Amino acid sequence: MKFLVVFIATLVVLAPWSLASLVQDVSADDAEVLQSVRLLTSVERRSNGANEFVLVHGASHGAWCWYKVVTMLETKGYKVTAVDLTSLGRSKVSADSVTSMVQYVKPAVDHITNASSKVILVGHSAAGTVLGYIMELMPEKIEKGVFLVANMPAFGILNSTTYASPNMSSVADFTYANGPSAPPTSILFKPDYARQRYYNQSPKRDVTLALSLLSPQPLTPLVGVFNFTPERYGSVRRFYIQTLNDNTSPAAFQEGIVKANPPERHFKIDSDHSAFFSKPSEVTCILEEIYHS
Annotated catalytic residue, options 36, 125, 271, 281 = 125
Cα–Cα distance between 215 and 85 in angstroms, integer? 12
Annotated active-site residue 270? The verdict is no
CA distances from 43 to 38, 51, 68, 248, 255 (A): 11, 19, 19, 35, 33
Annotated active-site residue 84? The verdict is no
- Strands in 217-218's sheet, in edge-to-edge order, are 172-175, 186-189, 217-218
DSSP string, 168-179: GGGTEEEE-TT-
Cα–Cα distance between 158 and 17 in angstroms, integer? 31
How many Cα atoms sit within 13 Å of 89 on the Cβ side? 25
Q: Are strands 119-124 and 142-148 parallel, antiparallel or unpaired?
A: parallel
Are residues 49 and 115 in contact, defined by beta-carbon separation less than 8 angstroms?
no
Phi then psi dihedrals of residue 107, to 5 deg: -60, -40
Annotated catalytic residue, options 91, 246, 249, 274 = 246
Cα–Cα distance between 10 and 1 in angstroms, integer? 23
Annotated active-site residue 125? The verdict is yes
Annotated catalytic residue, options 57, 111, 124, 273 = 273
Give me the active site residues, please: 125, 246, 273
